[in-house]
Amino acid sequence: MDKNCKLSKENKNMPTLLALRDITKQYANTLAVNHVSLEIPRQSIFGLLGPNGAGKTSLIRIITQITVADSGEILFDGEKLRSEHTSQIGYMPEERGLYKRMRVGEQLLYLAQLKGLSAVAARKKIGELFERFSMENWWKKKVEELSKGMQQKVQFIATILHEPKLLILDEPFTGLDPINADLITEEIHRLRDNGATIIFSTHRMEQVEELCDNIALINHGKKILEGKVIDIRQQFKKQEFSIRFAGMWKLVPPEWLHVKESHSGEVIVNVSQGKLPNDILRAVINDGIQIVGFNELLPSIHDIFISLVKGDEHA
């Protein structure tokens, strides 16, 4: 078997599409990226999070080869990142880059051909996406005639036209109403299911929990957290539980159980380390309280983000 063919097949079986190894980038006196290493799993949605000025945009610009890292290495699909990989990457920046006086169809046709599609293939793909996004009559519209949300849809289509292996989306839902946000969400899932790997950068943590499989949190140019969303929420849990009950709450709690909040038919309790859910249930049932619902409460990604960033600010 040809060695290059064998290597290509091995690369496609690798669990990681993009690997950043000890990346640094400095601008004047600012260390924007401070020895960051990341593993972006193949065919996943990866959330790149951080406050403003954390270094996210610097990392994205290095991945897309807009700028070059001062040190470190990036592997794309098992190969050292090089200029030829640009055609396999789609980047939707937060600052939009559409030509406002150009007609939508002509602009998308031009951008698709820049990414290597033939005019015939580009027209076919644009037609399919226009139909999927209910944009059939947009071909002759000028971008400046569109609302911010409509321009966002055009920008998204421009980013995915060439069916990139790696898709980088920076705040893709800005300006979208709920219906169009759902359309974009469905398309992101469809792209992932069809093999794309997606880096998703946003400040809206509820979208992270809805969309992302894995996340990394960057602050002051450093990576301070990385992992699967569910694992991270488990890691930061606070031994809190919701108990829904019928009748009156009459429990005299043992010293290891504390009532944090109380509502009609529900209490939120916090328990000491080492205590198990069965210990809580036993204490409540033994006092004659009828339980109708019981579940552990995990912290949201929003709460984890706030606590870690604030803690990092005062470290």
Give residues with Cβ within 8 angstroms of 162, minimum separation 6.
87, 90, 112, 115, 116, 117
Q: What pLDDT score does 8 carry?
A: 37
Q: What pLDDT score does 158 carry?
A: 94
DSSP state of 103: B
State how far the Cα of 300 lies from the Cα of 280, in Å rounded to an integer: 23
Q: What pLDDT score does 1 carry?
A: 42
Q: What pLDDT score does 13 carry?
A: 53
The answer to whether residue 11 scores a pLDDT higher than 50 is no
The answer to whether residue 3 scores a pLDDT higher than 60 is no
**Percent of the chain surpassing pLDDT 90:** 63
The answer to whether residue 212 scores a pLDDT higher than 60 is yes
- pLDDT grade, residue 4 (50/70/90)? very low
Fold of 3-233: Rossmann fold (3.40.50)
The answer to whether residue 91 scores a pLDDT higher than 50 is yes
Q: What pLDDT score does 224 carry?
A: 93
The answer to whether residue 14 scores a pLDDT higher than 70 is no
Q: What pLDDT score does 97 carry?
A: 76
Q: If you average pLDDT over every residue of the chain, what do you get? A: 89
Cβ neighbours of 259 (radius 10 Å): 13
Burial class (CB in 10 A: 0-12, 13-18, 19+), 64: middle
Q: Please, are residues 198 and 298 in contact by the beta-carbon 8 Å criterion?
A: no
SS3 129: helix
| pLDDT tens digits for range 21-60 | 999 999 988 999 999 999 999 999 999 999 988 999 999 9
| pLDDT tens digits for range 269-291 | 999 988 888 998 888 887 788 88
State how far the Cα of 81 lies from the Cα of 64, in Å rounded to an integer: 9
Give residues with Cβ within 8 angstroms of 120, minimum separation 6.
none
- pLDDT grade, residue 167 (50/70/90)? very high
Instruction: Compute the average pLDDT of residues 138-160.
Output: 91
- pLDDT grade, residue 64 (50/70/90)? very high
State how far the Cα of 190 lies from the Cα of 187, in Å rounded to an integer: 5
The answer to whether residue 220 scores a pLDDT higher than 60 is yes
Cβ neighbours of 115 (radius 10 Å): 18
Instruction: Compute the average pLDDT of residues 176-201.
Output: 94
Torsions phi, psi for 86 (to 5 deg)? -55, -35
Q: What pLDDT score does 187 carry?
A: 94
Instruction: Compute the average pLDDT of residues 141-164.
Output: 91
State how far the Cα of 223 lies from the Cα of 36, in Å rounded to an integer: 6
**Percent of the chain surpassing pLDDT 70:** 94
Q: What pLDDT score does 10 carry?
A: 39
- pLDDT grade, residue 203 (50/70/90)? confident
Q: Which residues on neighbouring strands pair with residue 268, listed in sequence order? A: 242, 261
**Taking the domains of the chain in order of start, what are their residue ranges?**
3-233, 238-297
How do beta strands 240-246 and 266-271 pair? antiparallel
